[in-house]
Amino acid sequence: MRKLILSMHISLDGFVAGPKGEMNWIHVDDELFEYSGMLTDAADTALYGRVTYEMMDNYWPTAGEQPGASKHDIQHSGWYNSVKKVVVSNSWKEANRPNVQVVGDNLAEQIRSLKEEPGKNIQIFGSPGACHSLMQYQLIDEYWLFINPVLLGSGTPLFRNINEIEYLKLLETTVLASGVLGVHYGRK
């Protein structure tokens, strides 16, 4: 069975976006891109909420072809263009794009079915609303959290819609030179 892997930047106090949705506090650099590249290498499906998908789809299809594109832009653009995209949305019914599937109704059933298909992992980046829905049904198998050394005080929390206690197992930690802490948890 394929795993659904969450990869998310988070503040030290548990937020994925500031009070006005700001994400300018997230630290990214080449070391982080190299570290997180192993996640995309192990996945052949990207899962997004509608808003994040639209943001990603406005940038990544041609990012690697732009003059001065970074190594990360070239690699991630290639990955993005080659993988199946699954968009979680109740309002967006038709993507009209090849290799894009929209799921909304019967979310838990559709995601469980997707996890049973042959292939590599399913990777979800960002998309806190979709993550909250997936957490409600305990569909996330692993959490890769990039804890940024910043306190936001308020904003969009990562963990919401937790209906029952779920114990996780720490699988790995990595301290990056930037001070970002990479933690990897799996379900027990």
pLDDT at 94: 67
pLDDT at 95: 64
pLDDT at 175: 96
pLDDT at 90: 86
Which alpha helices (H) appear in the chain, and where do they start and end? 30-41, 50-63, 71-82, 107-116, 128-136
Tell me the C-alpha distance between 129 and 119, whole Å. Answer: 25
pLDDT at 179: 96
The model's pTM: 0.91
Task: Please report the DSSP string for 96-135 in residue order.
Answer: -STTEEEEBTBHHHHHHHHHHSSSSEEEEES-HHHHHHHH
For 66-113, the pLDDT digits (tens) are: 999 999 999 999 999 999 999 999 887 666 778 899 998 899 999 999
Q: Are strands 121-125 and 4-11 parallel, antiparallel or unpaired?
A: parallel
What contacts 91, CB < 8 A, 6 or more positions away?
50, 104
pLDDT at 12: 96
Residue 126, CB-side half-sphere exposure with 13 Å CA sphere: 16
Number of helices (H), then strands (E), belonging to the chain: the values are 5, 10
Give all domains of the chain, ordered by start, each with its CATH number: 4-187 (3.40.430.10)
| Residue ranges in the chain whose pLDDT is less than 70 | 93-95
Span between the terminal Cα atoms of the chain, in Å:
16
